[in-house]
Amino acid sequence: MLYFLFLTPIIFKILALLSIFAYNWGMASLNHYLDELLSGGQAYFSRQEALKALDLSGEAFIAAAARLAKKYRLVSPRRGFYLILRPEDRVTGAPDPIRWIDPLMKNQGLDYRISLLRAAAFHGASHQAAMVFQVIAPRQLHAIDIGRHRLQFIYQSRVSFAKTNLPELHSRIKSEAGFAKVAGVELTLLDCARYFHKAAGINGVAQIVKDIGAKADPHKLAKAAIAYENSTIRRLGYLLDYADHARQAIVLEPFARKAKSMKLLNPSFKSITKSLVEMSEKDAKWMLVINEPVEIDL
């Protein structure tokens, strides 16, 4: 009994030393793994990939990753997915999402497209500063706030998403992960008209239409429009007309002719009274009540 009591403190010390050794070895092992990935031009990985490559338990990996996160070497935008921070990334707290959105969405098992303000800027809408990185996806996802970056996910129904998220309606942005999917001009315009409240409002969308509307292929625009609500198509048609992009507007006119009732140009003004609607300008061609004046910079 006395012999056991004598050995107990020694056993605890040995176990503590082994734990410290395992902890340090795990962090060193993961640190080396990150260097190898970076040397190969890859700045992201999944937990499963790391565990497969390293001889670490799940607990040891989590402890090592947490330690490296405190040292600003790692950051995790989604559980089980990690970004390796280079020195230049530490100022903003994370790399530009364009560099890792594609592998992140593949890790989540989801298709996607970058759209709205970021896509508009990519296509040349110089008036709009993309303060948020907006992604269209067929599932409702929580936003990601990581460092100085904010990723906003906009839900589109699976049926509409499947009809619109086609390779011929995409553009691509080169990134270190390969290519990231970005809405082509036609989808960008339709997405902005549909989700105008997330694209700087009606006037913000009007400015985007003015800036990039002429770049839209009329045939592609008409094809993509089929998957959108008729009111969205009419809103975009009106704004294209307003911006003097007649070639693009004319292909949307058949959709407007199917309309059975007037809709508000800006339906977010839900408190508008019947009398104000009656006083507002009406556009018979696009079957819209112009309840908000449109202003754009030339």
- What are the pLDDT digits (tens) for 3-28? 444 445 544 444 343 344 344 444 56
Ordered domains of the chain (ranges, CATH): 14-89 (1.10.10.10), 97-256 (no CATH)
At residue 123 the predicted structure's pLDDT band, cuts being 50, 70 and 90, is: very high
Q: What is the mean pLDDT of the chain?
A: 87
CA distance 241 to 223: 19
CA distances 55 to 30, 47, 184, 224, Å, are: 10, 13, 44, 49
Q: What are the residues facing 282 on neighbouring strands?
A: 289
pLDDT, tens only, 57-114? 888 889 999 999 999 999 999 999 999 999 888 888 899 999 999 999 999 999 999 9
CA-to-CA distance for 125 and 117, rounded, in angstroms?
A: 8
Instruction: Tell me the pLDDT band of 215, cut-offs 50, 70 and 90.
Output: very high
Dump strand ranges (E) for the chain: 44-46, 74-78, 81-84, 113-114, 133-137, 144-146, 149-155, 170-175, 178-183, 263-264, 281-283, 288-290
What confidence score (pLDDT) does residue 177 get? 67
Task: Work out the average pLDDT over 261-287.
Answer: 77
* Sheet order of strands, 288-290 included: 263-264, 288-290, 281-283
Q: What is the largest CA-CA distance in the chain?
A: 99
- Over residues 272-280, the mean pLDDT reads 56
pLDDT at 276 over 60: no
At 165 the pLDDT is: 95
Chain position carrying tokens 């199917």: 258
Residue 153 is predicted with a pLDDT of 98
Between CA 46 and CA 105 the distance in angstroms is 12
Q: Which long-range contacts (CB under 8 A, 24 or more apart) does 132-135 make?
A: 133/97, 133/98, 133/101, 134/198, 135/101, 135/105
Residue 204 has pLDDT above 60, yes or no: yes
Higher pLDDT among residues 178 and 259, named by residue: 259
Q: Name 295's Cβ contacts closer than 8 Å, sequence gap at least 6.
A: 203, 206
Give the model's pLDDT for residue 76. 95
